[in-house]
Amino acid sequence: MLGHLETRDRRVTVLLGPAGPRYRVEDRTGRVLHVELTEQELQARAPELHRLVKEGYAGGGRGRGVTLDARVQPFAGRER
C-alpha cells in the first residue's frame, strides 16, 4: 500500500502491484465501492477521485479555499 486519499465521503487506497498502481474506493462507512481499479478504470468510474489522485486536490479550486490536510487519523468509524 502506498497510501490513502480522502474526500468528505470517499477514501481511495493506492496499492502498488506488479502491473502498476491499483485503486480501491470505499465510502465513509467502509463499504467497498471499487476494488483493484487501474488508473483508466478509476478515471472512467470515478473521475472526481481520479482528479484527486492525479492533481492532489479536491473541489477543483486552487485559490478558492481548498485545503489539503496531511494529518494522520483513523477513517471515521473504522479501526485499521
Residue 77 lies in a domain: no
23: number of CA atoms within 13 Å, CB side? Answer: 25
User: Is pLDDT at 80 greater than 70 in this prediction?
Assistant: no
Number of independent structural domains in the chain: 1
Residue 32 lies in a domain: yes
Residue 25 lies in a domain: yes
Helix (H, G, I), strand (E, B) or coil at 41: helix
Handedness of CA 80, 73, 69, 7 (dihedral sign): positive
Cα 39 to chain centroid distance, Å, stands at: 12
User: Is pLDDT at 51 greater than 50 in this prediction?
Assistant: yes
User: Is pLDDT at 33 greater than 50 in this prediction?
Assistant: yes
Where in the sequence is the domain holding 22, given as residue range(s)?
3-55
How does pLDDT run across 12-32, given as a tens digit for each residue? 999 988 889 999 999 999 999
Helix (H, G, I), strand (E, B) or coil at 33: strand
Residue 34 lies in a domain: yes
Q: Can you give the pLDDT at residue 67? A: 52
Residue 69 lies in a domain: no
- The reported pTM is 0.69
Residue 27 lies in a domain: yes
Q: Can you give the pLDDT at residue 75? A: 54
Residue 66 lies in a domain: no
